[in-house]
Amino acid sequence: MRRVTVFVNGTSKNGKVVAVYGTLTDMLSVATNKLGIRACNLYNGKGGLIDDIALIRDDDVLYVSEGDPFFDPQNDVRARDDRPGAHTDWLTLNIGGRLFTTTRSTLVSKEPESMLAHMFQEKGVLEEARFFGIEQLAEQLEVAIKNNQTPEDHSPISRKEFVRFLLATPTKSELRCQGLNFSGADLSRLDLRYINFKMANLSRCNLTHANLCSSNLERADLSGANLDGANLQGVKMLCSNAEGASLKGCNFEDPSGLKANLEGANLKGVDMEGSQMTGINLRVATLKNAKLKNCNLRGATLAGTDLENCDLSGCDLQEANLRGSNVKGAIFEEMLTALHMSQSVR
């Protein structure tokens, strides 16, 4: 029976004597158990790779690696580390085809936030540290990675940035802005037709005289926004939040017959004075304390709408559907046409 002495690659301390039997795979398995590493390759004292167990002779001194190239124990700095179990303090990292060999102390204390922090982000490095049982090191590596990563930018998009997007988009292409943050941005007088603003944050935006024809503002946040004089023909604002917004003199009336849809929208306290809203769909919307003076609501759907304390003075409500709406405290002065019972009773 042949016996050999195995060392961790690059070291000449804490070797183990093992018996040679079976196949090369069996030999690597024994070395794994004896040295506590993932044995992948065997080298002789001159750095020759052993690929057949028949090449091993009795009393040979072999070096076991985890896939890294041979390190001469006579020249490698690791051979001069005499601490018990010192080999476990070393890591050889294969990152992008390049091998990095370093120690725990170097990783943690010297460059954890610069070059090495970039190395740690490569796949498998933390898993390798945990495999060696160096949990404390793994935790410190994770902190270094987190500190080195660029924080997520949630800052609002500026007018300059958005205009650049608009100019780079073909006129026949639909620009998707779903869920983006435009809070407080100045988007006044821009051509925003057919843009998808679904669930976008447009709170406190300046959208005065902007062209939002057929744009999608479903569930968008328009609270406190200024849309005075905006073109809202055929706009979709289902369940959007426009509480406290200003919509004076807006045009919702589409000559082509495509009606604006504001069903279920929150329009508490909005100022829509003088807006053109023929045929608009405001079913089950909330218009509590809103100002709709002198609005054109001819043929509008206001069924189930909350119009409590709403000022509808001077409005045109001819053929408007007010069935089931809440008109408590609403002001109906100087109406252009008479309001019939059939319009408000189920």
> Is the confidence at residue 43, as pLDDT, over 50?
yes
> What pLDDT is attached to residue 148?
57
> What pLDDT is attached to residue 82?
44
Neighbours of 230 (CB within 10 A): 28
Judge contact between 278 and 258, C-beta under 8 A. Answer: no
Same domain, 31 and 129: no
Residue 71 lies in a domain: no
Q: Which two structure tokens, joined as six digits, stand for 38?
A: 């993932």
Same domain, 92 and 173: no
From 65, 96, 120, give the residue that closes a domain. Answer: 65
Q: Which two structure tokens, joined as six digits, stand for 86?
A: 């010192």
SS (H, E, C) 156-225: CCCHHHHHHHHHHCCCCCCCECCCCECCCCECCCCECCCCECCCCECCCCECCCCECCCCECCCCECCCC
Same domain, 239 and 303: yes
Same domain, 47 and 157: no
Domain total in the chain: 3
> Is the confidence at residue 121, as pLDDT, over 50?
no
Q: 47-89 pLDDT, tens per residue?
A: 889 988 888 888 899 999 888 888 888 765 444 444 444 444 4
CATH classification at residue 54: 3.10.20.230
Residue 72 lies in a domain: no
Neighbours of 288 (CB within 10 A): 21
Angle formed at CA 63 by CA 57 and CA 69, multiple of 5 degrees: 125
Judge contact between 62 and 39, C-beta under 8 A. Answer: no
CATH classification at residue 244: 2.160.20.80
63 vs 43: CA distance, rounded Å: 5
Same domain, 119 and 35: no
90 vs 40: CA distance, rounded Å: 17
Same domain, 144 and 158: no
253 vs 109: CA distance, rounded Å: 67
Print the domain residue range for 204.
Answer: 153-346
pLDDT > 70 in the chain, percent: 74
Backbone phi and psi for residue 202, each to the nearest 5 degrees, phi listed first: -115, 25
Residue 158 lies in a domain: yes
318 vs 113: CA distance, rounded Å: 70
Same domain, 211 and 270: yes
117 vs 286: CA distance, rounded Å: 53
Proportion of the chain in helix, strand, coil states, percent, rounded to 5:
20, 20, 60
Average pLDDT, the chain: 80
Residue 73 lies in a domain: no
Same domain, 328 and 190: yes
Q: Please list the residues that pair with 19 across neighbouring strands.
A: 3
Longest dimension (CA), the chain: 112
Residue 185 lies in a domain: yes
251 vs 237: CA distance, rounded Å: 14
Q: Which two structure tokens, joined as six digits, stand for 14?
A: 């804490």
* Higher pLDDT, residue 303 or 144: 303
Same domain, 125 and 103: yes
Global pTM? Answer: 0.55
Residue 344 confidence class, pLDDT cut points 50, 70, 90 = low
From 65, 93, 112, give the residue that closes a domain. Answer: 65
Same domain, 140 and 166: no
Residue 77 lies in a domain: no
* Section 14-26 average pLDDT: 88
